[in-house]
Amino acid sequence: MIIRKRLVINLLMIAVLLAACSAPAAQGNPASTAIGTEQAINAAENSPAPEMDSASTPMNDVPLKDALGNLEPQDVFQNFYDITQVPRPSGSMDKIREFLVNFGNGLGLETIADDAGNVLIRKPAAPGFENRQGVVLQAHMDMVDEMDEGKDFDFDTDPIQAFVNGDYIVADGTTLGADDGIGVAMIMAVLQSDSLQTGPLEGLFTVDEETTMSGANGLKPDFLQGRIFFNLDSETEGIFTIGSAGGEHVNSNSTYPQTTAPTDMLAYAVKVQGLQGGHSGVNINQVLGHATRLLVRLLKGAEEPFGLRLSSLSGGTASNAIPRDATAVVFLPAEQADGFTAYVKDYEATIQVELTETEPDLNVQLEAVDPPAQVLEIEFQNTLIDALYGTPQGVERMSDAVPGLVETSTNLGITAIQDGQMQLVCYPRSSVDSELQDMEQVITSIWALAGYPAEITGWYAAWTPNPDSPILGLMQSTYLELFGVEPSVSAVHAGLECGAIGGIYPGMDMISIGPTLENVHSPSERLSIPSVDKLMQLLTTVLQHIPDK
Ligand SMILES: [Zn+2]
């Protein structure tokens, strides 16, 4: 039961992470409906046959352009269609920036592109609403550029081919870019509206969220005027996100001493493999196996009894991924070969029992290999195994404020020890900045005992959940009034732009919302059409009820 509960929470976290974008609508759209399958088919019949390779696109899919008349809110979906026509993979922001600058100028609104490449559009208060608190609406303008194998597509020049499929908008073999194009489209609709009765609004469009977060990180402290902040990059309608983790890389890079490999010993490769892996933030609460740690534990138990010598050790390929496999090349005296083989079998059985629920495919392989020329100098080897075995791994603390949320964790993402070069990368995360610093010191203290240098890179701030946030309270009561159900409140154990922006604007009252997106960052990405309408109703209602200063 405990496992089931954990799984549910984890799925929630993934859903939240996947869906982080929403935006305000221009009008109330009280009676709008999403296009249904029937309408979609009708639209298909009424429009000219689309020019496309029908092999890869189901015939009942209607090009988004031809379905726009049937989609509500129309202004949002028109904006979204327009955005799909502007190439904007992360790192190629010029075209979308120009598009947004032209959009703001076209509305006669103050429009600024900052040094980081972000675009800000300011909309003054409606007459009589000048005393309202200012609100910032933010979405990121870049998109992930994934496509199906064999798809002929250039993200730098080709428009996204979007289609309506039942209650969803989908792309044809590429990411759709609703993450976060739909957030941009909703903000545009709010800025366009001349019927909304709101205080001063700012639409902030950031660059390169999906890669470096350089837009959010590069904001100047005096750029934004509003102190209520809506991030429209969440991925599940009905879930409000109120916190995210900060993080950093703790790196150690150095050389190490080697000696000539013994000629009277046999060389083997030991592999721990078949693990699930996963995102080191989102999946860390699943108590999955960590391949490198499991392998180091094996080595720790074999060093003395078998006189094992280590030649190389590697595990994991990315700081933010839980290692799925790890390999060590070791030397053993010939007379110990049988004993070591039995030890490895026993060890495999032990950890298979320990991880039977979470890692059903876990296995340990032992095979003879050609002997490498060098091994680690013995004292360095002993210290290394102790240092890696003692390096913390996994969940350190759960949140008191948000049930089910991992507050602090760490992941030894990369271990590479070979040919005299050592690289270690840990990725601690926490939704409390001081705990992140604590985690960093634990890791660097252990490494200091071993004599390893440590360097911190890529730090970003936590967005600490505030269950008493006034904007959260307003959003919750409005949601209940509009839809008759309580929304969920969650936080993610991963980095969001809100963390970076909150670090630059302390005291900003922030919330992240969005319509429902599925399978983001993949060619299966799809956007729920009805959820956009609900989100716009919520957003436009809340924006018209922001309290006075
Ligand atoms: Zn996003």
Q: Taking 80 as the threshold, does the pLDDT of residue 27 lie above it?
A: no
What is the pLDDT at residue 47? 35
The arithmetic mean of pLDDT across residues 437-450, rounded, is: 98
What is the pLDDT at residue 521? 87
Q: Taking 60 as the threshold, does the pLDDT of residue 195 lie above it?
A: yes
The arithmetic mean of pLDDT across residues 438-461, rounded, is: 96
**What whole-number distance in Å separates Cα of residue 538 and Cα of residue 275?**
42
Strands 162-165, 265-273: pairing kind: unpaired
185 or 37: which leads in pLDDT: 185
- The DSSP call for residue 321 is B
What is the pLDDT at residue 60? 65
176 and 169 Cβ atoms separated by less than 8 Å: yes
- The distance from CA 164 to its chain's CA centroid, rounded to whole angstroms, is 26
Ligand 1 center from residue 240 Cα (angstroms) = 15
487 or 40: which leads in pLDDT: 487
pLDDT class of 215 with cuts at 50, 70, 90: very high
Which of 284, 234, 486 lies closest to 405, judged by CA? Answer: 284
61 or 251: which leads in pLDDT: 251
Q: Taking 70 as the threshold, does the pLDDT of residue 240 lie above it?
A: yes
The arithmetic mean of pLDDT across residues 335-362, rounded, is: 97
The arithmetic mean of pLDDT across residues 42-57, rounded, is: 37
Q: Characterise 33 by phi-psi region: left (phi > 0), alpha (psi -120 to 50), beta (else).
A: beta
**What whole-number distance in Å separates Cα of residue 114 and Cα of residue 500?**
16
Minimum mean pLDDT among 72-81, 96-105, 314-323, 434-443: which range? 314-323
Which of 373, 288, 287 lies closest to 331, judged by CA? Answer: 373
**What whole-number distance in Å separates Cα of residue 321 and Cα of residue 120?**
34
What is the pLDDT at residue 30? 28
- The DSSP call for residue 235 is B
Q: How far is CA 13 from CA 239, 323, 465, 493, 529, in A?
A: 10, 20, 14, 8, 22
Q: Taking 60 as the threshold, does the pLDDT of residue 428 lie above it?
A: yes
Q: Taking 70 as the threshold, does the pLDDT of residue 85 lie above it?
A: yes
What is the pLDDT at residue 401? 84
Tens digits of residue pLDDT in 58-71:
436 899 999 999 99
Q: Taking 80 as the threshold, does the pLDDT of residue 14 lie above it?
A: no
Phi, psi for residue 331 in degrees, rounded to 5? -115, 145
Q: What ranges in 175-282 are assigned the alpha helix state H?
A: 178-192, 214-217
Ligand 1 center from residue 216 Cα (angstroms) = 12
Q: Residues 190-202, buried b or exposed e (16+ Cβ, 10 A)? A: bbbbeebebbbbb
Ligand 1 center from residue 90 Cα (angstroms) = 11
Residue 509, amino acid: D
pLDDT class of 307 with cuts at 50, 70, 90: very high
Which of 243, 193, 238, 245 lies closest to 475, judged by CA? Answer: 238
- The DSSP call for residue 305 is H
**What whole-number distance in Å separates Cα of residue 510 and Cα of residue 231?**
7
Q: Taking 70 as the threshold, does the pLDDT of residue 43 lie above it?
A: no
Ligand 1 center from residue 179 Cα (angstroms) = 5
Please provide the DSSP assignment of 7-74 as one string.
HHHHHHHHHHHH-EE----SS--TT-----HHHHHHHHHHSPPPSS-TTTS-TT-EEHHHHGGG-SSH
Ligand 1 center from residue 176 Cα (angstroms) = 12
What is the pLDDT at residue 211? 86
Q: What ranges in 355-490 are assigned the alpha helix state H?
A: 378-390, 433-450, 470-483
The arithmetic mean of pLDDT across residues 160-187, rounded, is: 96
Which of 142, 172, 180, 533 is flagged as catalytic? 142
- The DSSP call for residue 285 is G
Total Cβ atoms within 10 A of residue 221:
8
Percent of the chain surpassing pLDDT 90: 82
Residues 6+ apart with CB under 8 A from 125: 132, 198, 199, 200
**What whole-number distance in Å separates Cα of residue 494 and Cα of residue 279?**
9
HSE value, Cβ hemisphere, 13 Å, CA-based, for 527: 35
**What whole-number distance in Å separates Cα of residue 190 and Cα of residue 230?**
13
319 and 427 Cβ atoms separated by less than 8 Å: yes
Which of 75, 146, 209, 233 is flagged as catalytic? 209
| Partners of 455 in beta bridges | 251
Q: Taking 90 as the threshold, does the pLDDT of residue 481 lie above it?
A: yes
**What whole-number distance in Å separates Cα of residue 162 and Cα of residue 174?**
9
What residues are neighbours of ligand 1 (ion), with CB under 5 Å? 179-180, 233
What is the pLDDT at residue 49? 36
What is the pLDDT at residue 16? 38
The arithmetic mean of pLDDT across residues 226-252, rounded, is: 96
pTM beyond 0.75: the answer is yes
Segment holding 498, helix H or strand E: helix 497-504
Ligand 1 center from residue 301 Cα (angstroms) = 44
**What whole-number distance in Å separates Cα of residue 79 and Cα of residue 158?**
18
252 and 534 Cβ atoms separated by less than 8 Å: no
What is the pLDDT at residue 255? 98
Which of 412, 423, 414 lies closest to 454, judged by CA? Answer: 423
Percent of the chain surpassing pLDDT 70: 89
Q: Taking 60 as the threshold, does the pLDDT of residue 55 lie above it?
A: no
HSE value, Cβ hemisphere, 13 Å, CA-based, for 86: 25
Ligand 1 center from residue 78 Cα (angstroms) = 20
Ligand 1 center from residue 320 Cα (angstroms) = 17
pLDDT class of 38 with cuts at 50, 70, 90: very low
pLDDT class of 482 with cuts at 50, 70, 90: very high
Residue 43, amino acid: A
Ligand 1 center from residue 22 Cα (angstroms) = 10
Q: Taking 70 as the threshold, does the pLDDT of residue 442 lie above it?
A: yes
Total Cβ atoms within 10 A of residue 423:
14
Ligand 1 center from residue 517 Cα (angstroms) = 10
Phi, psi for residue 292 in degrees, rounded to 5? -65, -45
What is the pLDDT at residue 36? 28
Q: What ranges in 107-230 are assigned the alpha helix state H?
A: 178-192, 214-217
The two structure tokens encoding residue 162? 């979007």
For the chain, the average pLDDT equals: 89
Ligand 1 center from residue 264 Cα (angstroms) = 57
Q: Taking 70 as the threshold, does the pLDDT of residue 77 lie above it?
A: yes
Which 3 state secondary structure label does DSSP give 226? coil
Ligand 1 center from residue 428 Cα (angstroms) = 22
Catalytic annotation on 142? yes
Which 3 state secondary structure label does DSSP give 549? coil
The arithmetic mean of pLDDT across residues 79-97, rounded, is: 98
Which of 227, 204, 220, 201 lies closest to 116, judged by CA? Answer: 220
Which 3 state secondary structure label does DSSP give 340? helix
Segment holding 12, helix H or strand E: helix 2-18
